[in-house]
Amino acid sequence: MLGDYKLGLSNILSSIDTAFSCIVAAIETVFFVSVGGIPLIILWIIGGSIFCTLRLGFINIRGFKHAINIARGKYDYEYKSEGEVSAFQALATSLSGTVGLGNIAGV
């Protein structure tokens, strides 16, 4: 009984794999085509970052010192309520969550 269930599930999974393999192959040929030895997706990422940098007025460069000051706690107030999280603790938590999810996904 269990063997029939596994066989049926295997057939369903293989048919889904067959159906999506042609879609994945088409997407792969579009995104991973090389232009001058560099994959197209890398060129899109570089182009998008340059566009955002120019459109937002170089905020990634102008605001870097301010971001570091916030993370170091320069703008924290002297009176602290109980249960507050500092800016550095929030930064460390968000970074660890991002890195941890990347490690779980195998990136």
Q: Looking at the structure, do residues 2 and 13 belong to the same domain, yes or no?
A: yes
Residue 101's pLDDT is what?
A: 67
Return contacts of 4-9, CB within 8 angstroms, 24+ apart: none
Domain tally for the chain?
Answer: 3
Q: Are residues 67 and 102 in the same domain?
A: yes
Same domain, 54 and 69: no
For the CA atoms of 38, 41, 47, 49, the dihedral, rounded to the nearest 10 degrees, stands at: -120
pLDDT at 80: 59
User: Domain range holding 79?
Assistant: 63-107
Q: Point out the residues of the chain with pLDDT beneath 50.
A: none
Rounded to two decimals, what is the model's pTM? 0.51
Residue 7: what pLDDT? Answer: 64
Whole-number pLDDT of residue 84:
74
Given this model, what pLDDT does residue 51 score? 97
The pLDDT value given to residue 28: 86
